[in-house]
């Protein structure tokens, strides 16, 4: 199954230096998700031949324009393309009224329904989406308006059967229990087959966390602990520390500190200020704290699997 992140936009506030505004396309267990939808997102989706028609969930981190102004055009285009399947959009409060007023003003009537799910940052770390393959958690970020981050995880995997240990006495029903880590017992409650004897530990579930606009705060490392891949904004270099603090953004050094403290597999930095025509200085600063750091670029494709990421070169 495909598990990857495609970067659609890396800029902050305004387009500059060929950068688009914040958006990412996630594939996890062959399920498709869109995170943030800055201006120009639908053009990027088309450019990189991504399957927006198969996206049923969209996650918006906050209601600053560079993170959702592309949503109006995208939703309208889906309507023109004949979409009838519903879409669920997760965001802080207020988005439904904005979208509806835009469509009412333009006379647009959608063929499909948008389900708006409001996420309150004060509710803390919480499960907001789950199906049989994946689950998504939200958590609060510290910005000038209500802002949330997202953590995507595969559902826990079953244990692996050691095939060479199987014998005729072990039936299919027994195998199902053993893969779940459950010992097989007889009618008297005596253990016949121990899961630890016939199975190996399940592989770790893949995970990805998205931290858009946020000031540095140590608690964030708890929310993203141990993920395979962490995206964290790095709007400024540490030489602009006061500017970062005033605007409730992070420096590359602070993003790397979160990655180090959370013991993540790899760090992807983005949301670069237009004052930087190259990301080299930001990447180098982050690498000084957390070596396995990548600077986001439009069209970049990164596997969500620490076993693969650790062998990538940047």
Establish if 314 belongs to a structural domain.
no
Residue 178 structural domain: 160-199
DSSP state of 288: T
Residue 272 to residue 216: CA distance in whole angstroms? 16
Q: Are 107 and 236 in a shared domain?
A: yes
The answer to which of 5-9, 149-153, 308-312 has the lowest mean pLDDT is 308-312
Domain count, the chain: 2
Could you count the other beta carbons within 10 Å of the beta carbon of residue 117?
A: 15
Residue 310 to residue 93: CA distance in whole angstroms? 38
Q: Are 176 and 118 in a shared domain?
A: no
Catalytic residues: 66
Please report the DSSP string for 31-66 in residue order.
Answer: EEEEE---TTHHHHHHHTT--GGGEEEEE----SGG
pLDDT per residue as tens digits for the range 244-267: 999 999 999 999 999 999 999 999
From 176, 199, 222, give the residue that closes a domain.
Answer: 199
Q: Are 186 and 280 in a shared domain?
A: no
Q: Are 146 and 57 in a shared domain?
A: yes
Q: Give start and end residues of each alpha helix (H) in the chain.
A: 41-47, 71-80, 95-106, 172-179, 195-198, 220-223, 241-247, 252-262, 280-287, 306-309
Residue 203 has pLDDT above 80, yes or no: no
Q: Are 192 and 210 in a shared domain?
A: no
β-strand partners of 26: 5, 33
Could you count the other beta carbons within 10 Å of the beta carbon of residue 153?
A: 19
Q: In what side-by-side order are the strands of the sheet with 134-140? A: 126-130, 134-140, 148-154, 207-211, 229-233, 266-270, 293-295
From 146, 180, 199, give the residue that closes a domain.
Answer: 199
User: Residue 297: pLDDT band by 50, 70, 90 thresholds?
Assistant: very high
Q: Are 255 and 288 in a shared domain?
A: yes
pLDDT per residue as tens digits for the range 138-156: 999 999 999 999 999 999 8
Q: Are 17 and 166 in a shared domain?
A: no
- Which of 248, 220, 253 lies closest to 234, judged by CA? 253
pLDDT per residue as tens digits for the range 224-248: 999 999 999 999 999 999 999 999 9
């Amino acid at each position: 199954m495909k598990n990857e992140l495609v970067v659609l936009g890396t800029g902050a506030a305004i387009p500059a230096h060929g950068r688009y505004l914040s958006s990412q396309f996630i594939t996890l267990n062959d399920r498709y998700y869109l995170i943030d939808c800055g201006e120009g997102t639908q053009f990027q989706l088309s450019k990189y031949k991504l399957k927006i028609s198969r996206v049923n969930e969209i996650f918006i981190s906050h209601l600053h324009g560079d993170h959702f102004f592309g949503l109006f055009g995208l939703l309208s285009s889906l309507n023109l393309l004949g979409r009838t399947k519903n879409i669920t959009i997760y965001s802080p409060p207020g988005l439904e009224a904005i979208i509806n007023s835009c469509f009412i003003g333009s006379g647009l009537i959608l063929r499909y329904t948008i389900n708006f799910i409001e996420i309150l940052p004060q509710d803390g770390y919480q499960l907001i989406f789950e199906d049989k393959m994946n689950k998504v958690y939200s958590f609060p970020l510290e910005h000038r308006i209500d802002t949330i981050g997202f953590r995507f995880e595969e559902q826990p995997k079953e244990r692996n059967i050691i095939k060479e240990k199987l014998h005729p006495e072990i039936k299919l029903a027994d195998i199902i229990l053993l893969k779940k880590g459950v010992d097989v017992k007889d009618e008297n409650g005596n253990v016949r087959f121990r899961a630890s004897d016939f199975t190996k530990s399940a592989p770790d579930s893949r995970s990805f966390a998205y931290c858009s606009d946020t000031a540095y705060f140590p608690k964030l490392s708890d929310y993203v602990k141990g993920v395979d891949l962490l995206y964290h904004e790095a709007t400024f270099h540490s030489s602009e520390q006061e500017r970062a603090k005033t605007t409730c953004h992070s420096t590359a050094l602070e993003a790397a500190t979160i990655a180090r403290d959370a013991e993540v597999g790899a760090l992807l930095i983005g949301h670069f200020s237009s004052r930087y025509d190259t990301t080299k200085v930001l990447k180098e600063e982050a690498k000084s704290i957390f070596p396995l750091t990548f600077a986001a670029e439009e069209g970049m494709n990164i596997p969500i699997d620490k076993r693969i990421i650790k062998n990538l070169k940047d």
